Structure 1
Amino acid sequence: MSHLQREIEEQPDVIARLLSEQSEQAQTIARAIREANPAYICIAARGTSDNAARYAQYLFGIKAKKVVALATPSIHTLYQTAPDLSRALVIGISQSGQSEDIRQVLTDAKAQGSLTISLTNKPESPLAQQADYHFDLMAGEEVSVAATKSYTAQLTAIAMIGAHLVGDADMHTALATLPAAARDTIAAAGDTAQWIERYRYTDRLAVIGRGYNYCTAFEISLKIKELCYISADGWSEADFRHGPIAIVQPGFPVFVVAPRGATSEHAIDLLALLAKRKAESLVITNDDIPEGLARRVLKIPASLPEWLTPITAVIPGQIAAMHLAAARDLPLDKPRGLSKVTNTQ
């Protein structure tokens, strides 16, 4: 078994461990945020962690009604300029905690008196040490270059902090169902190796999501790029209509992340447009999809509320990327030209 497969399968246990052992830290961080009462939130991240930041934009924006911006680390490093973050909560997200540019954002923010928080899988890392508060992702060593369990751990951490920040008992109840939902999602994807063979020679595809699952579209597309060396672009369902849909031709594969929720009606409408263009839609959903609109439906548990579906919806994409890479006879744990820790400045 590859490290990648093992780490995908470890995700339910990682989520369960976080919920069991890090609830108090999530509560402490939420209390600090309430006391600081920031005017807005700024999140610094790169790569997979940047997709976790996209999730935070929607979760904190919808549940906590906070304005959430993504940082521009190059301003802090290459241009040696520190924007005014004095009224912000600044969060740094990184699996390794090693990226100098992410740490510089927090350094500048802290010098201005901002509350700073880090989410890393390495509590001894420079980023973890730099922040006022650190949330340990407790994912264990992640050997595969393509991040999987650390990503869902980041999403879970954000969801936990958000639930404590809002103080909503229903959110905590829903969080408790996550480990089982992740296990069920992995089990439901057991036939992926067989059906993914159809796309072995694909050289481009699109991944579509919206709302809470905007991040999922970007993360699945990143996993396919990293593991399969395919030009896979992530799009918002809304943005995809503004031009990029022109690339769709008969047989073009499109992953559509379409769980039940506020985006459902728009996702179904897009699937109808894709069907007219004879695209092959691979739909990740817990909703009912009208007959004829999906080449294949990749099921996730129906029990989760929309705000938690990014944690399960990404898993069928991770598994599809892994099996597609295997079908193309590509290395699963060490894709060409990549390393586990990327230290950008």
Structure 2
Amino acid sequence: MSRVDWSAHPLVLAPMAGDPSTVALAAAVAGEGMFPFLAGAYVTVERLRADIVALRASTSAPFGVNLFAPSPNLPSMLDDARTYAALLDPWAQAAGVALGEPRYDDDGFDTKVAALVELAPAVVSFSFAWPPAETVAALRSAGCEVWVTINDPAEVAWAVELGVDGLVAQGWEAGGHRGGPQDTGEDQLPVRKLVMAVRSLTRLPVMAAGGVMTGGDAHALLSAGATAVAFGTAFLACPEAGTADVHRHSLTHREATTVTRAFTGRSARALVTTWTQRFGPASPAAYPHVHHVTAPLRAHGKATGEAELVHLWAGTGHAQVRELPAAELARLLTAELKTG
């Protein structure tokens, strides 16, 4: 039996790895009936444990945790990342920053899975790749629902075979990384068309994600067959979010977004900057190798407020972002949902 009554929690706070997701943000929206996710990627297992404990101390509502499943480590990726680093190096030197070394890691996947089996949040979702079948089984045995992210209807059959409990259908409009298991680098379906295509292939619950900024947006996706609808970019400007100041400012002061591998070696939607325009076409499919190369430069950009040096993740609806406390925004989205 599902641990989550999605009819009672149709609006979801998406996980936003790399600082925006915080316990305070999750707790605030949970108090208003939304289903929150914590981002388990890019944090230590100790931090993940502490966040789960802190959220449980703040709310009795159900919540989820998202992990990045380990990406393939192809032999070519290290060389490709080194070539890209050589291209970036003069630009980094001009900023007074030494680039990082390209390398592979799995973000502590096994230790984080073990912690989640022990702590058993209501939902564990995965992005970037499929979790091993034994991981799915262990989490489900612990009482967790297991969801995976897809970007293409062709991925539905694989997910069903894996035995998961639900699908996150991430449309082309979504900010941040493409979460599905295949980073093709090609344009993909917008969220409404993706939801309808996925719904025609499976009876599994479907969570829609991508460019959703209002309750009216969510109503349209629920009407198209989604079980629940996730909001990410919409919450980046909330005071409870850990969003960098330069990122907050850019959401309403830049117009265009692009999908690029320039920052991490994996396709992701960000606001257009000098970095994306100058280096995006040359960036290889080499995650997380490129992520480690560029991390020092991106951290420098955040610290100094140099937007051209920051990965400004944003969905296509970013201009509609509302700078409200998270609880107030959650109430507003719920009211908008009711009025359609």
TM-score (norm 2): 0.31
Q: Which has the higher helix share?
A: 1
TM-score (norm 1): 0.30
